[in-house]
Amino acid sequence: MNTLGKTITCRAAIAWAKNSPLSIEEVQVEPPKSGEVRIKMISSGICGSDDHVLKGELVVNFPLIPGHEGAGIVESVGDGVCSMKPGDKVLILIIPQCRECDACLHPKGNFCYKQDVLPCSGVMLDGTSRFSCRGQKIYHSFRTSSFTEYTVVPEIAAVKIDDAAPMDKVCLISCGFPTGYGAAVNSAKVTPGSTCVVFGLGGVGSAIVMGCKASGASRIIGVDINEEKFPRARALGVTDCLNPNKLEKPVQEVVMEMTGVGVDFAFEAIGLVDTMVAAWNSCNNSYGVCLIAGLAPSDAQLSLEAPKILSGKTLKGVCLGDYKTRDCIPQIVTDYLQNKINIDPLVTYQLPFNQLHEALELFHSGKA
């Protein structure tokens, strides 16, 4: 069936309102316009940011098709697209790389000005949507939307990857893995023999642990309220596991006692203000570095004891591992294919699209 230039009808998961169950519906997906790509989605991860969207913790427009951590095959391209062609394997990118804005042109920048996360408009760069259902416009999620059989994204929010890439695994390299691994190896540049603490041992936190271990950290403390995650965390490189709910004093005080002087590197991979403050207070006061990789709710405010900033430690935000996405993500896929990194331990379940509700239940149960 030739779909070139035609509207495609397919299945997609729609969130009609915040805190409402996802509904699998037939949707219409328009052809890509100039500078856009229509992609047949093959696999998608479930990221914590998707959960923030569904709970209404981020300012978004409903109804929308959620999901952003995806791998697929290009079905068709709009005018002017030259970096990919139909049949190419691609990853979609929550943080695009336009290669024109200040962030893209600066050697240390990666938060492209054409991103649609903060804030999230839910529409393409021309201000319109490519999705509809029963005659109603459906918004995009972060200009990606992976919980659908077909999606349309800007060319700058997708990148061609190696044809040998296993599509059931590499979707994690679209967001979760580089967000965590890159926070350690690319942003923090964790040093050999250093001490680290990681708050949150989900997908991103686990990838941070992998990055700390690969960088030669001598001690990695993992913090999570779900002790079911501890065995896997230890297998990835965590040396000490802490459940804050079972400690007699605040976790940052325990970390300080364990290390004597505080950690060299602290990572927050949850998106809660309390754990951000705890990570900050776990750092060595003179040279510790605290990196925030978790996305907090839109209305959250972070409050720190101002005098303690003077001592010299650093607080840094990090988005997608500080990687320039289109430049760097394909190489991470190649490194995986060459066994230089291993994302397989991060894949805990694989379910068909029609079991998306079961997948979300596994996500919320903490078993994934």
User: Which of 43, 44, 47, 174 is the catalytic position?
Assistant: 47
* Region 254-270 average pLDDT: 98
Q: Is 175 a catalytic residue?
A: yes
Strands 131-133 and 23-29 come out as antiparallel
- Lowest mean pLDDT of 49-58, 204-213, 330-339, name the range: 49-58
CATH architecture of the domain with range 8-176+322-365: Alpha-Beta Complex (3.90)
Determine the pLDDT at residue 240. Answer: 98
Determine the pLDDT at residue 284. Answer: 98
Q: For residue 214, is pLDDT > 80?
A: yes
Residue-wise pLDDT tens digits, 310-346: 999 999 999 999 999 999 999 999 999 999 999 999 9
User: Which of 43, 44, 52, 319 is the catalytic position?
Assistant: 52
Read off the amino acid at residue 292.
Answer: I
Q: Is 76 a catalytic residue?
A: no
**Is-contact 151 66, C-beta < 8 A?**
no
User: Which of 98, 104, 120, 175 is the catalytic position?
Assistant: 175
Largest CA-CA distance found in the chain, in angstroms, rounded = 66
Residue ranges of domains in the chain: 8-176+322-365, 188-317
d(CA 368, CA 362): 6
- Written out in words, the top-level CATH class of the domain with range 188-317 is alpha beta
Read off the amino acid at residue 137.
Answer: K
Tokens standing for residue 92: 């979609």
**CB-neighbour burial class of residue 299 (10 A; exposed 0-12, middle 13-18, buried 19+):** exposed
- Lowest mean pLDDT of 9-13, 68-72, 257-261, 304-308, name the range: 304-308
Q: What percent of the chain has pLDDT over 90?
A: 92
Q: For residue 235, is pLDDT > 80?
A: yes
Q: For residue 367, is pLDDT > 90?
A: no
Output 9 or 57, whichever has higher pLDDT: 9
What single DSSP character describes residue 184? I
* Region 30-45 average pLDDT: 98
Determine the pLDDT at residue 2. Answer: 87
d(CA 125, CA 39): 17
Determine the pLDDT at residue 193. Answer: 98
Q: Measuring CA to CA, how many Å separate 272 from each of 58, 164, 254, 300, 301?
A: 13, 38, 19, 8, 10
Q: Is 49 a catalytic residue?
A: yes
User: Which of 44, 49, 146, 194 is the catalytic position?
Assistant: 49
Determine the pLDDT at residue 281. Answer: 97
3-class DSSP assignment, residue 309? helix
Determine the pLDDT at residue 308. Answer: 86
Q: For residue 31, is pLDDT > 80?
A: yes
Q: For residue 228, is pLDDT > 80?
A: yes
Using alpha carbons, select from 29, 18, 26 the residue that is nearest to residue 134: 26
**Is-contact 22 53, C-beta < 8 A?**
no
* Region 17-32 average pLDDT: 96
Model pTM score: 0.96
Q: For residue 189, is pLDDT > 90?
A: yes
DSSP annotation string for 61-125: -SSEE----EEEEEEEE-TT--S--TT-EEEE-SS---SSSHHHHSTT----TT-SSSS---S-T
Q: Is 364 a catalytic residue?
A: no
Determine the pLDDT at residue 366. Answer: 85
Place of tokens 């686990």: 206
Instruction: Give buried/exposed letters for 110-133 (b at 16+ CB in 10 A, else e).
Output: bbbebbbbeebbbbbbeeebbbeb
Place of tokens 């303690």: 308
Q: Is 47 a catalytic residue?
A: yes
Determine the pLDDT at residue 338. Answer: 98
* Region 9-29 average pLDDT: 96
Q: To 10 degrees, the CA torsion angle through 259, 264, 269, 273?
A: 80
User: Which of 44, 68, 104, 145 is the catalytic position?
Assistant: 68
Determine the pLDDT at residue 1. Answer: 74
3-class DSSP assignment, residue 368? coil
- Lowest mean pLDDT of 98-107, 133-142, 192-201, 298-307, name the range: 298-307
Instruction: Give buried/exposed letters for 251-290 (b at 16+ CB in 10 A, else e).
Output: bbebbbebbeebbbbbbbbbbebebbbbbbbbbbeeebbb
Place of tokens 């990606």: 144
Calculate the CA 242 to chain-centre distance.
24
